[in-house]
Chains A and B, each alone.
Chain A
Amino acid sequence: MAVEEFDAVVIGAGAGGGVVAKELATAGLRVVLFDRGQYFAASDFGHDELADSQEPWNRKGLRFGPGPKEVRTYRPDPDKPARIVTPRDWEFSALAACVGGGTLSYQALAWRFHPGTFRLRSLCGAIPKSTVEDYPLTYEELEPYYTKAEYELGVCGEPYGPPRSKPFPMPPQPDNKEAEVLFPAARRLGWKPFHPPLAITSEEYRGRPGCVRCPNCLSYGCEVEAKSSTAVTVIPGAIKTGLCLLRPEAFVREITVDARGQPNGVVYRNSKGAWQQTRAKLIVVAASATETPRLLLNSKSKWFPAGIGNQHDQVGRHIHEDIANAVFGFFDDVVGDALGPGPSCAVDFQFENAPVPGGGVMYNSFSRLPLRVIHTVPRPAGVKGWGHGFKDFYRRYFWRHIRLYFSVHGVPREGNRVDLDPDVRDAFGVPVSRITHRTHAWGAPQQEWLAGQVERLLREAGAKFTVKRPFVAERAGGVGQHQCGSCRMGTDPRSSVTDRTGRVHDVPNVFIADGSLMTNAGGANPSLTIQALAYWVSEHIVRDWKGGGLRG
C-alpha cells in the first residue's frame, strides 16, 4: 500500500495545533491533524464530579486523558533517581490528551501577557541559577496575533493593562455574587479591578450560544459549546475547508527522515493499534511542553543522533511555569452563588503595578462544587480533616468563602528538563518523558507580596479570617498545566531550539507551535499566548509556502 502524503502534518490538536491546522488548511495546504486522545462531542459531557471531571478524584482517571495506564518518570534534581508516576500524580506534570487539549476543560482565562514579560531578562537582570531569556519578539509584534486569537476563538472581557488595537469581541460575563463583594472592596483600596478575560462566550458568537452559567466549568467539557476550546472553534473550521483530516486516537511516535536527512513524515499508531506512516512536506509539533520534547528526542537517526533539534542539547531544557497560589477568605455572610463560569474580578499587579520584579495577577476562581470545595479549600489551624468540626466547617462556609488565586512570573531553573527516561517505556515500547523539576526561588518574594495584597482585599471585602496554602520556595514536584519553555524560541541556537518564527534551528521544515516555544511563562495563564504564537508561526509557514519554500 502506498504511504499517504500530505503537505503538512500537525501533531497535537490542542491550543496551538488546532490553530495551525486551520491556518494552513485555509491557505490551501493539505493537512493531517493528529491527536493521541479522543474527539469528544458535547453529548459526552456531564456534571458528575466522580466521572466527568479532569480532577484527580475522578474514579476512572482523568476524563480527558491521558489514560490511567500512561506513565512518566519524575525526579526533583538531576542527581536523584527518577520514579514512575501516573497521570493522577502531581509529579506526572498535567496535560490533557484529547482533541482540544487543555482548552476543552480549562477555566478559559485568556490573558494577554504584559509587554514586560517579553523582556523579563532585560528588565530584571540575570537571575542566579536561572536560564531565563527575553522573548525574541516583542509584545508589539505579537499584538495583532493576540487580536486574531481573541476574535477567532471568541474571548469576552474588558480592557486592562496591555495596549490593544481592537476591543474585545464580546463584553464580560455578567457579575456573580463574588464580583458584587470584591469590586467595591478593591476600589476602596484604590485599585482598578476588572472582569478577567475569558475564552467563553458571553453572548451568541459565530453560531455558538452564550454561556448558560452552569457551575461545571473548570475541568469539565462544555455541553453548550460556550467554552471557546479549539475543539469547537478552529478545528471544525479547519475541517470545513475540506483540506484538513483530523485523526484522533492516533499517537505519533517519531518524525521520519529521508535519505538526505530531511524530515519527511511521521510514524503513528492508529486507533486500532497498528503502526503506520504518513509523509508530509512540513511538520508542526504542538504536543505540549512535556510531550513535544519527547517526540523530538525519540526522532533519532544518523542525521539526528541526539534527536531532531537537539544538536546543542537544548530540547527539553528550561521547562517551567508561572507560580500560582491562592488565599481563601471566610465570611460571616453568604458571598457566593451557584453561577459559572466563576472568575469575575481581577486585579493586575504586573511590572509597573508592583514593587516586586515582574509581579503577577489576582482573580477569584472556581465555581462551587461539593467535592472540589471539600478536597481543595483548606481549613484554619485547629479544624481537623474529619469529625464534627470538619463537617461543620464546610457546611458553614460552603457559600461563605472566596478563593482568590494569584500567579507571579516563574523562571526556568538550571537542571530542570524533560528528556527520555533511559529505562522506562510505555505500553507500546516508546521511551517516556522523564521530568526533572523543582521551582526556582526567584518568584518567592513576589508570591509573598502578592499574597499579602490578596489578603488585604479579602479583609476589605469583609473576611473574618483567611487561610493560605503552605508555600515552599524551591518546591519539588511536577510542572503543571501551564508548562512551557522546553523547546524555546531564540536567536542563539546554543540556548534555544527554534528561531523567532518557531522553525527548528537548522531544520527548515519542522516547526513548533505550543507552550514549548515560550521563553517565559508570564505572570498569568498562558493559553492565549500559545494561540497568538501559533498564529504567528502559521503566518510564517504560509508566507514561506506561498513563496515556493517548504515544498520539498
Chain B
Amino acid sequence: MNRSFDNAHTSTRRDFLHRCAICAGAVAWPPAWAKLAAAAGQHPEGHVKAAGPKAPLEFQYLTPEQAATIEAICEQIIPADEDPGAKWAGVVHYIDLGLAGDLKEYRPVYEAGLKRLAALTREIGTRSFPELDFAVQTQILEKLEKDELREGAGATGREFFELVRRHTIEGFWGDPKYGGNREMIGWKILQFEG
C-alpha cells in the first residue's frame, strides 16, 4: 500500500483522504515512521485510527485554483516517495493559514509569483500547472527557479520560488500547530521525536 504515496501527486487531496479512509490501517504507515514506532514498542494501528477520515479543510486565504497550484509546487519540492510528501503533510494549509495570518506580508510575492508561473506554464500549452505531468511540472519549476522577470513591481519568479521552497520546508518540518507537518510526518521520517 505504500506505493500509493508515489501516486499521491496525481490525485486530489480529497481523493487521497478518501482512499486513506477506505484503507484505514495500512496506508498511513511510511517505513521510517513504522520502524520508529516499532522500536518504541508502539502498535502502528493505534495511530492510524486516531488519524481517521477527515473532511478536506477549507482554505482561509488562497482560492481553490491558487491552492491547487501551490500544493503542486510544494509536492515538487518535497515529493512523496516511500514516505509521504508535502501534499500528504498538508503543507498548502501551512501556507494558506500563514498568508491569512502571521505570513501575510508575503501575499504580494505569492500573487506576483503565481502570475509568473502561469506565464511560464502557458508557454507550453493550455493545461494549468496542477494538471501537468510531474516531470513537466519539474521542468517548469526549473525555469521558475532562474526566472528574473517580474509582473509589474512584484517579485521575480526566482524570488517567489525561493519563498515557496522556504515555506514548504517550514510547513513540512515545522511545528504541526501551524497547519502543516500533518501527524508530525516530517519529524517521523527524520526519526526526530519533537
Contact = CB atoms under 8 A, between A and B. Distances in A.
Contacts of A369: 192
Interface string B151-194: 00000000000000110111001110110000000110111111
Contacts of B173: 370-371, 374
B113 interface: no
A467 interface: no
Contacts of B77: 386-387, 390
Contacts of B102: 59-60
Given A60-B102, A387-B77, A391-B79, A338 B192 contact: yes
Interface in A326-349: 338
B78 A391 contact: yes
A395 B189 contact: yes
B175 A50 contact: yes
Interface string B46-79: 0000000000000000000000000000001111
A57 B78 contact: no
A370 B187 contact: yes
Number of chain A interface residues as a range: 20 to 34
A400 to B, nearest CB: 11
A370 B176 CA distance: 13
Given A49-B174, A50-B174, A391-B81, A386 B165 contact: yes
A368 B175 CA distance: 15
B70 to A, nearest CB: 14
A388 B191 contact: no
A385 interface: yes
B103 interface: yes
Contacts of A48: 174-175, 177
A423 B54 CA distance: 56
Contact of B83 (A49, A368, A374, A395): A395
Interface majority SS (helix, strand, loop, mixed), chain B: helix
Given A59-B98, A371-B173, A385 B191 contact: no
A399 B76 contact: no
Contact of A394 (B76, B177, B190): B190
Number of chain B interface residues as a range: 20 to 34
A85 interface: no
Nearest to B194: A47
A390 B138 CA distance: 14
B169 A371 contact: yes
A387 B141 CA distance: 11
Contacts of B189: 395
A392 B81 contact: yes
B37 interface: no
A472 to B, nearest CB: 21
A29 interface: no
A51 B177 CA distance: 11
Interface of B: 32, 76-79, 81, 83, 85, 98, 102-103, 138, 141, 165-166, 168-170, 173-175, 177-178, 186-187, 189-194
30 contacts: A48-B175, A48-B177, A50-B170, A50-B175, A57-B170, A59-B98, A59-B102, A59-B103, A59-B170, A59-B178, A368-B192, A369-B192, A370-B173, A370-B186, A370-B192, A371-B169, A371-B170, A385-B165, A386-B76, A386-B77, A387-B77, A387-B138, A390-B77, A391-B78, A391-B81, A395-B32, A395-B190, A398-B190, A398-B192, A399-B191
Given A48-B175, A387-B76, A394-B190, 20 more contacts: A48-B174, A59-B102, A370-B173, A370-B174, A370-B187, A371-B170, A371-B174, A374-B173, A385-B165, A386-B78, A386-B168, A387-B138, A390-B77, A390-B78, A391-B78, A391-B79, A391-B81, A395-B83, A398-B191, A398-B192
Interface of A: 47-51, 57, 59-60, 338, 368-371, 374-375, 385-388, 390-392, 394-395, 398-399
